[in-house]
Structure 1
Amino acid sequence: MDSLTQIVLGAAVGEAVLGKKVGNKAMLYGAIAGTIPDLDTFVGYAYDTITATEIHRGFSHSIVFSVLFAPVFGWLISKIESKSAATWKNWSWLMFWGLFTHPLLDAHTTWGTQLFWPFDLRLAYKNIFVIDPLYTLPFLVLLIMAMRLKRDDPKRRKYNRLGLIISSIYLLLITPALKWITYNKFENALEEQSISYQRIDTRPAPMNSILWSANIEAKEHFLITDYSIFDTKPISFQKVPKNYTFADSLAGDPNLKRLINISEGWYTFSEKNEQLYFNDLRFGKLDMNDPEAPFIFSFLLQEENGELTATESERSMEDAESLLPELWSRILGN
């Protein structure tokens, strides 16, 4: 999830664990704990694109990391807050839950997380987008309301607990229910249109849980589509050729295999200006209506010194700005 959401979750968890004893400092250190796992993004800068992508949400998002580093961070805080009523054990317990709830939340996104690192198992329930105001804003408001009260005020714990409950209901009940409903809509549309397929993958569109997108794999191509719960027209599918023959010369290349593994098999190739691109389908396109629009995650493939390299295509703020009005219009239904 985005940094703000993880800060809010970490602060709320910190308050729940230790707020009664240390007040707002529990929120402060909980917020810090909630941001620590995402520091793997900076570690990735030291590596090539493929390795950095593999590292993201790996070790730092695992149970192992939480167990190993919670006591270390707890010890550091106990030294900084030596006059506090909280002990090293108290701070360690706070840091563990702050670190651990971060990947638990990330597991619900499209990218997922390697919670059970070092095992090669990525959990990705794909029922919430990385930025979702419906999850974050009520949570944030209640956290601020709790923060403004004295640590021994019973309303403080009530507001914080309410924020945790509301956000959890949205994450664990409402969005999975919407995913199930829309998944059935996609399946029924495929059946009604007599379209044969091998597998289907669904996810929420950016910044909401009203509009959902789907990737469908057929034998020679993929189908992509979306559905809003406010839609009144039948679902239509856009065909995307796999173009696997474009990369025949790269067959068996270990770096290409790594990219395919990262994409979970949801990928196509495309050519532009005589250059070959690897497209990860899981995160959609920059333009929802243009069949020729590039995919959000696209990698230029080149050979350098006999080794295949991948360079991620840059995305600009203008791309996001043009997508938002289109996204809002689509959320409201067709």
Structure 2
Amino acid sequence: MDNLTHGLLGLAIGALRRPDGQRAPAPGQGPRLDGPGLRWTSPTDRAVLFGCVLAAELPDLDGFLPAADPVLQALQTHRGLTHALVFAPVWALCATGIARLIYRRARSRPVFSYSLASVLFAHLLTDLWTGWGTRILLPISDQRYSLDWAAVIDPFFTLPLLAGALWALARKRSWRRSLLVGLTIAAAYMGFRVGSREILVRRVERAYPAATRVEVFPALLSALSWRYAAILPEGYSLGRVSIFGPVEPVRTQDLPAELPERAADNPTVAEALVWARVPHVSIQEREGGVLEVRVADLRYNMGGEPTLQFVVLVGPQGETLEARLERGGTIGEVYRRWKDDRRGALPAEGGAG
């Protein structure tokens, strides 16, 4: 998910630890943290909160790692080993070390334990439940896993966490309660989404009994609406479905074109095809025997049209001449398409080239 959500969720996970001041301090050591006279938190309390926020952000440092081209950076380098379970203790150790440098009197064990929990639940899990997915089992398995519970940006999940953090800043005497209330609301919302998706998958499967596979994935900026793709022998059926509404077909789409051997063997094209669970592929021959290959995943669409494409120029020997991401136009163009999609304005039907 986005980095704001990672950090806020990490902060809330840090608040799960019972602060030192609630462990009945000896006479003269100060008030309880949950009492009306709050004036202090221990170095360990502060280090845990700081370490959890930091640990929740560290895996995305992979965005600075080198890659052969932007497509491989997005699909292979990002959310690769840095987002695997085996690497989580490394991030927790880094966060603990930095927190201990700042809060020298803090105890290492609770800082490490909660930093590890933050890496696992505030970053790895939240990336896993998006449609983009992550290779969480590297190096044991190279498979990309995705739960499709939420979009990469979901304000309905983020806002309770943000409200809890702001309330904790404003009402410091009840900081922990504020953070935990925000966490509880966000967790309840995500639980609702998990249950909704299971119901909608069954509903779409009943609507398309001939489908070999059904994908149900989040719609942008919506708590109730979802998108689906039914993979049929003759092509794709794309549409919308809501927990309180019917299954609405939007358009049909041909199955992807078969790639020439030199394009199919290209590492960048192959990586894009592994990522695309509902692939849309178009090929255009350019001057000098260069092939322009466009790979999209129709899980990312508005009105059935892809909003994210990986474009690879493949040379005569199968080499990558250029690779880039196209995100559906400018922000204004994407916003207009999103509004049209919300109103149900449908494009003309068409197949993949």
| TM-score, normalised relative to structure 1 | 0.82
Q: Deviation above 6 Å: which 4+ runs of structure 1?
A: none
Residue equivalent to 2:129: 108
Q: Answer whether contact 1:283 1:296 (CA < 8 A) is retained.
A: no
Q: CA deviation at 1:205?
A: 0.5
Q: State the Cα deviation string for residues 181-237 of structure 1 (Å, max 9, x = none).
A: 22233223224xxxx2211111010122311111122224222111234546x6225
Distance 2:55 2:19 in 1: 15
- Give CA deviations for 1:279-323 in whole Å, capped at 9, x if unaligned: 3324322x42xx6x4x12212232247334343225421233213
User: 1:203-218, aligned counterparts within 5 Å?
Assistant: 203-218=217-232
Question: 1:19 and 1:132, CA in 2 relative to 1: closer, same or farther beyond 3 A?
Answer: farther
C-alpha distance in structure 1 between counterparts of 2:310 and 2:232, whole Å? 23
User: Which residue of 2 is the match for residue 253 of structure 1?
Assistant: 265
The question of whether the paired residues in 2 share the 8 Å contact of 1:19 and 1:25 is answered with no
2:159 paired residue among 137, 150, 163:
137
Q: 1:189 to 1:235 in 2, by over 3 A?
A: farther
SS in 1 for 2:307: strand
Distance 1:303 1:272 in 2: 10
- Which residue number corresponds to residue 96 of structure 1? 116
Structure 2: tracts of 5 or more residues without a match: 21-41, 345-353
**1:269–1:276: 8 Å Cα contact kept in structure 2?**
no
Once residues 68 and 159 of structure 1 are traced to their aligned partners in structure 2, the CA distance between those partners, rounded to angstroms, is: 30
Task: After TM superposition, give the deviation of residue 244 of structure 1 in Å.
Answer: 1.7
Q: Which residue of 2 aligns with 1:311?
A: 324
Tell me if the contact between 2:84 and 2:138 (Cα under 8 Å) persists in the aligned partners.
Answer: yes
**Aligned in 2, Cα 1:209/1:279: closer, same or farther, shift over 3 Å?**
farther
Corresponding residue for residue 251 of structure 2: 238
* 2:286 pairs with 1:267: no
Whether the 8 Å CA contact 1:129–1:208 is kept in 2: the answer is no
Letter in 1 for 2:63: T
Matched, 1:279 2:295: yes
Q: Is the 8 A contact 1:226 1:235 kept in 2?
A: yes
- By how many angstroms is 1:5 displaced? 0.9
Aligned equivalent of 1:158, options 146, 155, 177: 177
Please tell me whether the aligned partners of residues 47 and 99 of structure 2 are also in contact (alpha carbons under 8 angstroms): no
Partner amino acid, structure 2, of 1:161: L
Does residue 168 of structure 2 align to residue 168 of structure 1? no
User: Higher helix share goes to which structure?
Assistant: 1
Query: Which piece of structure 1 moves more, 20-29 or 236-245?
Result: 20-29
Aligned to 1:51: 72
Sort the Cα spacing of 1:69 and 1:227 in 2 relative to 1 into closer, same or farther, 3 A.
Answer: closer
Partner secondary structure for residue 235 of structure 1: strand
Give the secondary-structure state (helix, strand or coil) at the position aligned to 2:299: strand
| CA apart distance, 1:92 | 2.1
- Secondary structure (helix, strand or coil) at the match of 1:122 reads coil
Q: Percent same amino acid among aligned pairs? A: 22
From the superposition, tell whether residues 162 and 273 of structure 1 become closer, same or farther in structure 2 (CA, over 3 Å): same
SS in 1 for 2:136: coil
In structure 1, the gaps of 5 or more residues are none
**Cα distance change on mapping 1:181 and 1:54 into 2, 3 Å:** same
Measure the CA separation in 2 of the matches of 1:160 and 1:127: 23
Contact 2:280 2:295 in 1 (8 A): yes
Secondary structure of the structure 2 residue equivalent to 1:117: coil
TM superposition shift of 1:93: 2.4
Structure 1 pair 273/305, CA: closer, same or farther in 2 (3 Å)?
closer
TM-score scaled by length of structure 2: 0.78
Equivalent position to 1:183, from 193, 201, 204: 201
Q: Shift of the alpha carbon at 1:26?
A: 4.1
1:181 to 1:69, Cα distance in 2 relative to 1, 3 A: closer
Distance in 1 of aligned mates of 2:261 and 2:138: 33
Give yes or no for the alignment of 1:199 onto 2:213.
yes
**AA matched with 2:97:** W
Where 2:130 maps in the other structure, the secondary structure is coil
Deviation at 1:132, TM superposition (A): 1.2
Instruction: Please report how far the alpha carbon of residue 25 of structure 1 lies from its aligned counterpart in structure 2 after TM superposition.
Output: 5.5
Which residue of structure 2 lines up, in the alignment, with residue 3 of structure 1?
3
RMSD: 2.7
